[in-house]
Chain A
Amino acid sequence: MVPITLFLALAAILFCIGLYGVLTRRHLVIVLASIEIMLNSVNINLVAFSAIGPFANISGQVFSLFIITVAAAEAAVGLAILIALYRNRNSIDVIKHDLLRW
């Protein structure tokens, strides 16, 4: 049987990759995708704890279903705003959106 630490390590690595993506990428669609990676690393954590954790029970899987649903809603709103922004500015490069600062 695979020990739970491996799953937790995978989730931690994915979370870091997602965070790195949010902080460094210039393409807004990739930034939104990086947020999804962060949320999905949480799902791996929850499902791993739910299956082989010290107190394995079903709540973790229920929690991850809720997260998937909410992440979908968030992505929908995010992409809608992205399209509105693109229509206004003709660019989805992070660097170019600097009207608001300090």
Chain B
Amino acid sequence: MTAFDANWSLLTPEMVLAALALLVFTIDFMTGIHGKKPFIGKLSVLSLLVTAVLVLFMNNSGGQIADLYLIDSFAMVFKLIILVGVAMVIMISLHYLDRNEEIYQGEYYSILLFATLGAMIMVSSADLITLFIGLEILSISSYALVGFKKHHRHSTEAALKYVILGGAASAFILYGMSFLYGLTGSTSLLEIGQVMPTLFADYTVIMTISLIFMLVGFGFKISIVPFHMWAPDVYEGAPTPVTAFLSVVSKIAGFAIVLRVFTFGFLGVHEEWVMIIAVLAAVTMVLGNIIALTQKNTKRLMAYSGIAQAGYLLVPVAALPFIGTFSINMILFYSIAYLMMTLGAFAVISLVTEDAGTNDLSSFAGLFQRAPYLAISMTVFLVSLAGLPLTAGFIGKAHIFFGAAAADMLWLAIIMIVMSVVSFFYYFGFIKQMFMTAPKANDEELKVPTSLNAVITVALAVTLILGILPNIVLDVFNTFNWFALF
């Protein structure tokens, strides 16, 4: 089957989302440049829901467009996670943009929708060119989003750092891909995967270079140590909802392509890369958690916490060749848990730091007296991030632990447990501020806007339900045959 007689209707969700993003863009310039435009935000949430429904009903039988674009359950679940995540990010943005009128509101939402489109293309692609285009749509949109407070010194500096390092990371990925193409004559990951074992035996040096260059580039995108230095700076400078977007949606989409490339392209030579990834995961967990201990700025702290979480998510990637589909289940379950607890935490952080006018940890002082519901939900999110029982984070980590143990990587699993204990200390810093410190003299009761309340309630409900009844999701995952591969 060639691209000419392929079933292009499988692309309906992406096309509809692109059309709706352009519609948002058009409505924006028809309603004037300045001023608040909450209706555009609501329209964007609606377009994401429409796309999610289309993904559920158009993509549930599977299929593929030539060897370029795969519609499998792996892509479908990742797309749903991304769409729900972006919808929650937009709900957080509604309040943030209400407080920051200098941001051009319509453009903000449409660029966010285009970034989502890029992430959706990424998770479905099975071809180097498609993968690269999806990645760049997401990255270039993110560069613009980070610099959206353009009269703000921190925001522009963060955006420029992100452009420079992101561009260099893209160049690394492409340089690795160029050897992959040159020695196989194909850009399709399916075809590359078939010839990989013989290819690796013939051109060991070049293929190792190619593998390492791609790993450096992808490692940058998912912010693992030692390619993480951009993350705290960019997260601190970016508008808070964009920080939430980067730490959740862009990271999850990055993990999706890492899985695609390493399962489809490099599974045949897994003994070459499993150890590298396991060591990177260990270093990421250790450094991410330890540097987080020294942070006093909430957004930088969440950045290092996100780096540590990327380390936990990397453990099942290293275990993948040994335990197969089980590892995909773990990554997807932890992705859902991570999405809910991180976005919930960012919803609270966005509200509290905007109200205090500073990102310092002390802005949380006495939150329990000012807004008890916020303080209690924030505690649940932090406890889940740290991995205590009765939360989704605990179940996710427990599965990752047993998976790593089953793959004979007990040392990695033990590092993970030790580092989770270390992470209690910095998450406890928040809890101490909220419950044990008196509020500042001029702080009044904090009013929670409806949109943020909705995000926090949904995130709280999912975190607790998945913590108590994880089988609701896991049973569904077990019925899926993720790729045709396993």
Contacts and interface: CB of A to CB of B under 8 A. Distances in A.
B37 interface: no
A41 B172 CA distance: 11
Contact of B171 (A38, A54, A66, A99): A38
A73 B179 CA distance: 24
Contact of B233 (A56, A77, A84, A101): A101
- SS class of chain A's interface: helix, strand, loop or mixed? helix
Given A41-B175, A56-B185, A88-B151, A81 B156 contact: yes
Given A35-B167, A74-B170, A49 B182 contact: yes
Nearest to A32: B164
A25 to B, nearest CB: 11
Interface string A60-87: 1011001100100110011011101100
B47 interface: no
Contacts, number: 144
A78 B163 CA distance: 6
Nearest to B176: A42
Interface residues of B, number: 45
A97 interface: yes
Given A85-B160, A89-B153, A100-B236, A74 B182 contact: no
Given A18-B171, A38-B171, A77 B132 contact: no
B136 interface: yes
Chain B residues touching A, majority SS: helix
A48 B183 CA distance: 12
Contact of A15 (B133, B171, B187): B171
A17 interface: no
A102 B235 CA distance: 12
Given A89-B157, A99-B153, 14 more contacts: A15-B171, A28-B160, A32-B163, A38-B167, A63-B129, A66-B133, A74-B170, A81-B163, A82-B160, A85-B156, A88-B156, A89-B156, A97-B161, A100-B236
Interface of B: 128-129, 132-133, 136, 139-140, 143-144, 147, 150-154, 156-161, 163-164, 167-168, 170-171, 174-175, 177-179, 181-187, 232-233, 236-237, 294, 300
Interface of A: 11, 15, 18-19, 22, 28, 31-32, 35, 38-39, 41-42, 45-46, 48-49, 53-57, 59-60, 62-63, 66-67, 70, 73-74, 77-78, 80-82, 84-85, 88-89, 97, 99-102
17 contacts: A22-B164, A31-B164, A32-B167, A39-B171, A42-B171, A42-B178, A45-B178, A45-B182, A49-B181, A70-B136, A70-B170, A78-B167, A85-B157, A88-B156, A99-B157, A100-B157, A100-B161
